């Protein structure tokens, strides 16, 4: 975790509520009102696996056709964490970012993204109604992005070790012997991002109800301290903190890792290589992500950016991406008739779990559940300390 990431996060969160309220009115007036000819290029910051052109598997390509149709060449910068996305958007030079909920309000408050004119996106009407006005991209009725995909952070496990799916996240939080009789120390991982503190809080919601945690992103000092204590204990058993999806795939293949929080993308990729892995959402539930394609306030290629946002809602793209990543489309119509996804694919990927997922959200000091909570700048600095064993 770079120091610049911590500084960016702290600066973006200072006076978040005030920044959001003042930003909305000013930006709405500058919203694009028409789309002109494409500029020949669009630069996107994206999660691994989100923008595919068939290089890994020829069946999964939603870039080549777009480039031929629009003349907009797609350039992708892969980011491993939300904090990295915030840093890249602060630096500028990009058109779009596929931001999760723990980054989106920060880049809105930091005035790094611009409001989206949904009238210029014909497919807006096809978006899942639960996502259209989601609070992680909508401020005072103004939309700052186009929903892309959503899903849960799953527990990925080795099926040679776990003959049945683990029922609790304790296999990665607590020192214990696994079903093969060997300790889990050195064979489990945790996510390398401050938002992972919410995973610890979610675990405590189930196992320490006396703490009174109602929302894993809204923690008072006592609740927050308990989550940090759990994570400090976890540090001693971890093989690594992961943020690079492909490194985690290699760790499960070659480094003896057998259980970790993960994304469906890694699960699907390992399964495609016939590796002994599966995933589950344990009894405590899971955190998750609902990602939004957001446009930089100074996007160098705004016309191509709008053309991509419209393309991103095309049902075939949405279904193909869901099949590739293991996610759920933002366009419900994509769940039927897609050859790669199959008509049961959305159900398999957790479409029925929407109300069970605690979607990533930026923690703020003024919170709904109990008035005063620990803000994200503390999450950043304290998680850096935990990564260092402190």
pLDDT digits (tens, 9 = 90+) for 348-360: 899 998 988 999 9
Question: What mean pLDDT is predicted for residues 251-274?
Answer: 95
Structure tokens at 60: 């999964």
Domains 3-151+288-355 and 152-287+363-387 in one fold:
yes
pTM of the entire predicted model:
0.84
* Alpha carbons 279 and 282: distance in angstroms, whole number: 9
Write out the DSSP string of 70-138. H--EEEEEEESSHHHHHHHHHH---SEEEE-HHHHHHHHHTT-B----GGG-GGGGGS-HHHHT-TTTE
Q: Where along the chain do its domains lie?
A: 3-151+288-355, 152-287+363-387
pLDDT score of 337: 96
Q: Mapping DSSP to helix (H, G, I), strand (E, B) and coil, where does residue 23 land?
A: helix
For 258, phi then psi, to 5°, come to: -125, -10
pLDDT of 363 reads 93
pLDDT of residue 26: 44
Q: What is the mean pLDDT of residues 189-212?
A: 97
What pLDDT is stored for residue 12 in this prediction?
Answer: 37
Tell me what pLDDT residue 2 has. 33
Asked if residue 281 lies in contact with residue 167, where contact means CB atoms within 8 angstroms, the answer is: no
The yes-or-no verdict on residue 19 having pLDDT over 70 is no
Domain 152-287+363-387, CATH number (from 3.30.950.10, 3.40.190.10, 3.40.50.620, 3.40.50.300): 3.40.190.10
Percent of the chain with pLDDT over 90: 87
Do the Cβ atoms of 42 and 75 come closer than 8 Å? yes
Give the Cβ contact number of residue 72 at 10 Å. Answer: 23
- CATH number given to 3-151+288-355: 3.40.190.10
pLDDT band at 14 (very low <50, low <70, confident <90, very high): very low
Report the mean per-residue pLDDT for the chain.
92
Kind plus residue range of the DSSP H or E element containing 320: helix 315-325
Q: What is the pLDDT of residues 290-335, one digit of tens each?
A: 999 999 999 999 999 999 999 999 999 999 999 999 999 999 999 9
Residues 33, 313: Cα–Cα separation, whole Å: 20
Q: For residue 356, what pLDDT is reported?
A: 86
């Amino acid at each position: 975790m770079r120091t610049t990431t911590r500084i960016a996060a702290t600066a973006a969160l200072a006076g978040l509520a005030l920044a959001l309220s003042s930003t909305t009115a000013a930006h709405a007036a500058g919203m694009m009102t028409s789309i002109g000819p494409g500029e020949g290029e669009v630069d996107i910051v994206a999660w691994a696996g989100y923008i595919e052109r068939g290089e890994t598997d020829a069946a999964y390509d939603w870039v080549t056709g777009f480039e031929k149709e629009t003349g907009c060449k797609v350039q992708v910068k892969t980011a491993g964490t939300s904090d990295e996305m915030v840093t890249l958007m602060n630096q500028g030079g990009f058109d779009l970012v596929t931001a999760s909920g723990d980054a989106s309000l920060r880049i809105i408050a930091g005035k790094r993204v611009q409001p989206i004119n949904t009238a210029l996106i014909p497919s807006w009407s096809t978006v899942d109604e639960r996502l259209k006005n989601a609070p992680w991209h909508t401020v005072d009725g103004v939309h700052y992005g186009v929903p892309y995909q959503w899903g849960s952070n799953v527990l990925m496990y080795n099926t040679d070790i776990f003959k049945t799916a683990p029922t609790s996240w304790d296999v990665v939080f607590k020192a214990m012997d696994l079903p093969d009789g060997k300790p889990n120390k050195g064979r489990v991982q945790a996510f390398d991002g401050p938002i992972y503190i919410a995973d610890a809080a979610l675990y405590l919601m189930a196992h320490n109800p006396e703490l009174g945690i109602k929302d894993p992103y809204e923690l008072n000092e006592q609740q927050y301290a308990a989550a940090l204590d759990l994570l400090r204990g976890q540090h001693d058993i971890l093989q690594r903190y992961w943020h690079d999806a492909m490194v985690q795939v290699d760790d499960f293949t070659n480094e003896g890792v057998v259980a970790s929080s993960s994304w469906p993308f890694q699960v699907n990729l390992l399964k495609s290589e016939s590796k002994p892995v599966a995933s589950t959402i344990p009894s405590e539930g899971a955190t998750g992500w609902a990602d939004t394609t957001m446009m930089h306030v100074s996007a160098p290629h705004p016309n191509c950016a709008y053309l991509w946002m419209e393309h991103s809602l095309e049902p075939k793209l949405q279904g193909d991406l869901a099949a590739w990543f293991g996610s759920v489309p933002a366009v419900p119509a994509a769940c039927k008739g897609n050859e790669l996804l199959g008509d049961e694919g959305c159900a398999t990927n957790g479409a029925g779990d929407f109300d069970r997922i605690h979607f990533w959200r930026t923690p703020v000091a003024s919170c709904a559940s109990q008035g005063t909570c620990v803000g994200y700048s503390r999450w950043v600095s304290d998680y850096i300390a935990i990564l260092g064993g402190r």
